[in-house]
Amino acid sequence: MDTVAVIGAGMVGSTTAQRIAERELADVILVDIVEGMPQGKALDLRQAAPILGYDVDVVGTNDYADIEEASLVIITAGVPRKPGMSREELVSVNSGIVRDVCEKIAEHAPDALVMVVTNPLDVMVYAANQYLGFGRHRVFGMGGELDAARFAYFVAERVGCSYSDVSAMVVGGHGAKMVPLPRYTTVRGIPLSRLLDSKDIEELVRRTIEGGAEIVSLLKTGSAYYAPSAAITHMAEAIIMDRGSVVCSSVMLDGEYGVKGSCTGVPVVLGACGIEEIIELELEDEELSKVQEAAAEVVRLSASV
């Protein structure tokens, strides 16, 4: 059985632990700086096992030495945004946390793959790549996969089809510089433009870009965690089961999409070795320049840390 370490036992971290355990994907080590909290949540999750019938171990700890066995470390430690706040306003506080967590990963799990979830996502993926130096195939972010799920949900709702019939594609930043791609979004292979008019499509694109903020403003405290943990678990499963799944992930680009030395969301092939391939879509000029702008902003924001 593989072991996955989830750093940060807050809303995203604990629901991720729950989903991984319920799918029996791996043993889970839940780490947080708050004493007792990860231990309490892990005990609670273990006590659900006799009812739900899963046979994996879930351990809560404040000690990073316990992540030694992990082949995948998922970083959810950090502060979520408040209503009216952009993800970018979290840069300084969360980069300190991610730096601290990366130092511990380098010490205790130097061979692991690292999936970053902390916001602002692309800036934190960039920072984690710098701090860890593990190579870009081993350090990547979950952001685009959630955005694609949101886009797919909005499309299914509007078309009136099953959610699982929609295959959506979102590239660029996990934030205002997100680039949902209707041209690469289909309903069982049927192009979106055959099913909806351009005004409808534009409205769904806008709602996708603002999808996270819509939930933050409804919740009033904290941000989304059910769909984020589902997207994280989907990516964790691709790695643990070596599926070679095509997912949207934030990665360090090295010339792809005309971007070198910055991170943004692109489609990749994800398997046991991490990022196995970066897929280069043919983009229109406007789409490509938005992707490049998103990547340039990551470098700008990173310089301010």
**Bridge pairing between strands 58-61 and 27-31:** parallel
Among 5, 7, 73, 169, binds ligand A3D (CB under 6 A): 7
Q: Residue type for 282, please?
A: E
Assess whether the previous peptide bond of 120 is cis (omega < 30° from 0). yes
Site string for ligand A3D, 220-239 (x = CB under 6 A): --xxxx--x-----------
12 binds ligand A3D (CB under 6 A): yes
Within a 13 Å sphere around the CA of 75, how many CA atoms are in the beta-carbon half?
A: 34
Segment near ligand A3D (CB under 6 A), from 28-36, 42-50, 269-277, 286-294?
28-36
Calpha distance 244→224 (Å, rounded): 27
Q: Is 99 annotated as a binding residue?
A: no
Confirm whether residue 175 is marked as ligand binding. no
CB atoms within 10 A of CB 34: 12
- CB–CB of 116/142 below 8 Å? yes
- Site map 181..220 versus ligand A3D, x via CB under 6 A: ----------------------------------------
**11 a known binding residue?**
yes
Closer residue to ligand A3D (CB): 103 or 284: 103
DSSP classification of residue 68: T
Binding piece for ligand A3D, criterion CB under 6 A, among 22-30, 115-123, 165-173, 264-272: 115-123
- Please indicate if the annotation marks 9 as binding a ligand: yes
User: DSSP letter string over 162-186?
Assistant: -GGGEE--EEE-SSTTEEE-GGG-E
Place of tokens 């979106």: 192
Least distance between ligand A3D and beta carbon 257 (Å) = 20
Rounded CA gap, 74 and 31, in Å?
A: 10
User: Phi/psi of residue 223, each to 5°?
Assistant: -125, -175
Out of 138, 174, 177, 234, the residue judged to bind ligand A3D by CB under 6 A: 174
| Under rule CB under 6 A, residue 97 binds ligand A3D | yes
299 marked ligand binding residue: no
Considering only 6-14, 42-50, 131-139, 280-288, which stretch makes contact with ligand A3D by CB under 6 A? 6-14
Report yes or no: 236 and 272 within 8 Å, Cβ to Cβ. Answer: no
User: Binding residue per annotation — 12?
Assistant: yes
DSSP element (H, E) containing 74: strand 72-75
Annotated catalytic sites, by residue? 174
Query: DSSP code of 194?
Result: G
Which of the residues 144 through 163 are near ligand A3D (CB under 6 A)? 146
Residue 137: how many other CB atoms lie within 10 Å: 17
Binding to ligand A3D, residues 63-92 (CB under 6 A): 76-81
Q: Annotated binding site: which residue ranges?
A: 8-13, 32, 81, 87, 94, 117-119, 150
What does the binding site for ligand A3D look like in residue numbers (CB under 6 A)? 7-13, 31-34, 76-81, 94, 97, 100-101, 117-119, 121, 142-143, 146, 174, 222-225, 228
Q: Annotated binding site for substrate: which residue ranges?
A: 81, 87, 119, 150
